[in-house]
């Protein structure tokens, strides 16, 4: 029985992580046809197709996912071997994190803090829409995705949604607009001031619209904004009262530039870390999802 050709495996590994045959061929200075031949030889050796085409995109088959898990472990072990024998300690581990482009930067920093500044960890951050990020997670180009709505699960997609936190949502504005402590009711504030709102498809916006209806208020909308960072800037410019989690503007609140006026009852922003069920998950993801467990283990060692 012939042995596995690890050159073929490495070519497959590169294409699987890039998700694009043309891009990988250019990066490896090969023709597409030559790269396709190498992958086809690996498929013949394994007895299974590793990719399927959907339009112009390559997607891993079930056998391809299994092969990629093993390839990740094989090449990571090789890097660790090189690092050990070169007396450089353990090889640097890569952690690929995707985050919704509109997600709070402060929340992202808090989530990533356990691995920030580690010389043995290479942190790769990508942003995009929920659909883009989940596709990258599904093709194993990302290890974990940060979003604010749990994805739908079905029998074909093994997403695991880890609920990280739920942040209350408040009305936030400048001290001058909020009258330096004047005790208006929530309904009075919403009638008196324009508001900066998330877009209509967000959970926070749906909750706010329902709250305004219960209060019998039709607020004046100053802006509908997808990006929380832009909502923060508009609130600082005193365009209106922003409807967002205070964590987004915690620095401005701490410095007195902005003030939290009212916590909005029944409205919260929920943050999720989404992973895929994998045979060989990146161990760094567990460190992020369970930082307290890592600390306890370190103390007991």
Q: Which domains does the chain have, with CATH numbers?
A: 6-72 (1.10.10.10), 90-165+272-300 (3.40.190.10), 167-269 (3.40.190.10)
Q: Do the Cβ atoms of 261 and 185 come closer than 8 Å?
A: no
pTM value > 0.95? no
Query: Is pLDDT of 45 > 80?
Result: yes
Q: What pLDDT does residue 156 have? A: 64
- Range with lowest mean pLDDT among 56-70, 134-148, 215-229, 287-301: 287-301
- Give alpha helix (H) positions in the chain: 6-18, 21-28, 32-46, 62-85, 105-112, 130-138, 186-192, 203-215, 228-236, 250-255, 283-289, 291-300
Q: Do the Cβ atoms of 236 and 258 come closer than 8 Å?
A: yes
284: how many CB neighbours lie within 10 A of its CB?
A: 21
Distance CA(271)–CA(157), nearest Å, equals: 20
pLDDT single digits (tens) 149-191:
888 776 567 789 999 988 899 999 999 888 755 677 899 989 9
pLDDT single digits (tens) 263-293:
899 898 889 999 988 777 788 888 898 876 5
- Comparing C-alpha atoms, which of 178, 265, 268 is closest to residue 214? 265
Judged on CB neighbours under 10 Å (0-12, 13-18, 19+), 213 is: exposed
Distance CA(25)–CA(196), nearest Å, equals: 47
Q: Do the Cβ atoms of 233 and 259 come closer than 8 Å?
A: no
Q: What pLDDT does residue 240 have? A: 93
């Amino acid at each position: 029985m012939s042995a596995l050709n690890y050159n073929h495996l490495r070519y497959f590994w590169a294409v699987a992580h890039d998700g694009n045959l043309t891009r990988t061929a250019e990066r490896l200075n090969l023709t597409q046809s030559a790269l396709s031949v190498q992958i086809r030889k690996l498929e013949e050796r394994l007895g299974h197709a590793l990719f399927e085409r959907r339009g112009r995109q390559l997607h891993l088959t079930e056998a391809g996912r299994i092969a990629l898990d093993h390839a990740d472990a094989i090449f990571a072990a090789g890097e660790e071997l090189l690092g050990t024998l070169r007396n450089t300690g353990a090889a640097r581990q890569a952690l690929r994190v995707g985050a919704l482009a509109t997600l709070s930067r402060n929340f992202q920093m808090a989530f990533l803090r356990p691995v920030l500044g580690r010389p043995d960890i290479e942190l790769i951050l990508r942003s995009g829409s929920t659909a883009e990020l989940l596709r990258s997670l599904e093709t194993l180009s990302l290890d974990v995705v940060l979003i604010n709505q749990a994805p739908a699960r079905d029998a074909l997609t093994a997403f695991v949604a880890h609920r990280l936190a739920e942040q209350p949502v408040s009305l936030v504005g400048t001290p001058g607009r909020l009258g330096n402590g004047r005790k208006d009711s929530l309904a009075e504030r919403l009638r008196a001031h324009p508001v900066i709102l998330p877009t209509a498809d967000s959970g926070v916006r749906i909750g706010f619209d329902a709250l305004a209806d219960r209060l019998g208020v039709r607020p004046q909308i100053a802006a509908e904004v997808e990006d929380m960072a832009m909502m923060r800037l508009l609130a600082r410019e005193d365009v209106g009262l922003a409807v967002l989690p205070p964590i987004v503007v915690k620095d401005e609140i701490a410095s007195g530039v902005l003030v939290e006026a009212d916590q909005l009852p029944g409205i919260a922003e929920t943050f999720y870390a989404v992973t895929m069920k994998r045979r060989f998950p990146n161990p760094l993801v567990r460190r992020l999802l369970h930082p307290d467990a890592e600390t306890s283990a370190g103390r007991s060692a």
